[in-house]
Amino acid sequence: MSKKYEKNTIIFLIGLFLLAIISLVSTTIGPVKISILQIIDILFESININTNLSSSEISQAFKTVVIDIRLPRILMGIIVGIALGISGAILQGLFRNPLIDPGFIGVSSGAAIGAMFVIMFSQLIAIENNFYIQFLLPVFAMSGGLSTTILVYKMSQMSGKTNIMAMLLSGIAVNAFSGSIIGFLVYRASDMELRSFTFWTLGSLDNSNWLIVSIAVVAILIPIIISINLRKKLDIFMLGDAEAGYLGLNIEKLKKRIIFISALMVGVTVAFCGMIGFIGLVTPHLVRLIMGPSHKTLIFGSAILGAIILILADFISRIIIAPAQLPIGIITSALGAPFFLWLIVSQKQKIRYEK
């Protein structure tokens, strides 16, 4: 047991190290080539430490590129990866089903309605482009996502208890209904609006800046802390509703918390970065394969791995058709789906999920 504990600590440290390396390398990539040493110099200079590892004078333009453009983008990628990884892990726990994706609680489809509404409405009353992307779209996407989640949650209440099966079904129904609303809006949309909306659904870290990063950090910090605190309770919850109740766990409180913190986390990512698929589904799987199913390792592991995968995907999206960049959602799905299939086929014995 203590040996296992040590092994897990080493895996976490390796994960964090990998994340740091990938983030650093990813920061060097872009239209302006900046070396890793220069980046380290710039980063240390920003906290008033003079390292001068690159032994060269670094121009102000380089500093601006790193500090104001690339750094917020990388940080936003890490935040989004953590949020999607953790919400995938705790929602798969809530449904006791490894095939659950954060989309099942309706948050993404609700956010899409909100986003589409803003895109069409702002064209109609000609709001200045930048303003609505920076402010209105995230607010509407977030409100849309939370409203649909509340709707799904309310429909799953049966005599004071949350029926998980009913929740799964109402999630599917709400998603289908949202799909028809989006379909109607898409039908009415102009080519321009349609293009903006399509790009939004493919996800992107392009709009990242320090303001957005700060808002996102504040919004997901508490959900992350709550999730980590739920790790032991989630393991008990895996025994079944009645069994967990007999062990003294307040299961209704647990369910409610999981639903709302994951809606908040996914809501924030969708609001600022659009839809980024497959991370929430694939990440917990990989962590379970490496470290086992216990939420004591799953939640923290999914946070680190989610961030690594997202930063990698962003890295690829920026180099694959450079100097242009591909929307990140295309990369996560294009890599995530075949990888997921390979995983299922090659690890059949090891996965062995029952149901």
Partner 1 sequence: MKNKSTNILTVVDVSYEINDITINKGINFNINLGEIVSIIGPNGSGKTTLLRLISGDIVPSYGNIEFREKDLNNYDPKEISTMRAVLPQNSHISFPFTVNEIIQMGRFPHPENYKSDKTIVDDLIKTFDLNDFLGRDFTSLSGGEKQRVQLARVFAQIWSEDSYNGKLLVLDEPTSFLDIKHQLDFFEIINDFKNNGLTIIMVLHDINHASSFSDKIGMMKKTELIYFGDTRDVINSQNLNDVFDINLKLINIDSNGRKLIYL
Q: 11 or 98, CB closer to partner 1? A: 98
| Pair 34, 65: CB distance under 8 Å | yes
Nearest-approach distance from CB 95 to partner 1, in angstroms: 9
Q: What angle, rounded to 10 degrees, do the helices at 164-188 and 137-155 form?
A: 140
Nearest-approach distance from CB 351 to partner 1, in angstroms: 8
Question: What is the distance between the alpha carbons of residues 282 and 271, in angstroms, rounded to a whole number?
Answer: 21
Phi, psi of 49 (to 5 degrees): -120, 125
Nearest-approach distance from CB 295 to partner 1, in angstroms: 10
Nearest-approach distance from CB 243 to partner 1, in angstroms: 6
Question: What is the distance between the alpha carbons of residues 156 and 347, in angstroms, rounded to a whole number?
Answer: 34
Contact residues toward partner 1 (CB under 8 A) are: 1-2, 96-98, 232, 235-236, 238-240, 242-243, 245-250, 288, 292-294, 351-355
Q: 160 or 323, CB closer to partner 1? A: 160
Question: What is the distance between the alpha carbons of residues 133 and 236, in angstroms, rounded to a whole number?
Answer: 42
Q: 131 or 353, CB closer to partner 1? A: 353
Closest to 26 (Cα-Cα) out of 83, 86, 76:
76
Q: 206 or 235, CB closer to partner 1? A: 235
Q: 70 or 255, CB closer to partner 1? A: 255
Nearest-approach distance from CB 283 to partner 1, in angstroms: 15
Question: What is the distance between the alpha carbons of residues 149 and 178, in angstroms, rounded to a whole number?
Answer: 12
Question: What is the distance between the alpha carbons of residues 171 and 107, in angstroms, rounded to a whole number?
Answer: 9
Closest to 84 (Cα-Cα) out of 305, 331, 260, 288:
305
Q: 4 or 195, CB closer to partner 1? A: 4
Nearest-approach distance from CB 10 to partner 1, in angstroms: 19
Closest to 329 (Cα-Cα) out of 261, 287, 270, 243:
270
Q: 30 or 284, CB closer to partner 1? A: 284
Residue with tokens 């996502």: 145
Nearest-approach distance from CB 102 to partner 1, in angstroms: 18
Alpha-carbon dihedral of residues 324, 310, 210, 196, nearest 10 degrees? Answer: 50
Question: What is the distance between the alpha carbons of residues 107 and 263, in angstroms, rounded to a whole number?
Answer: 6
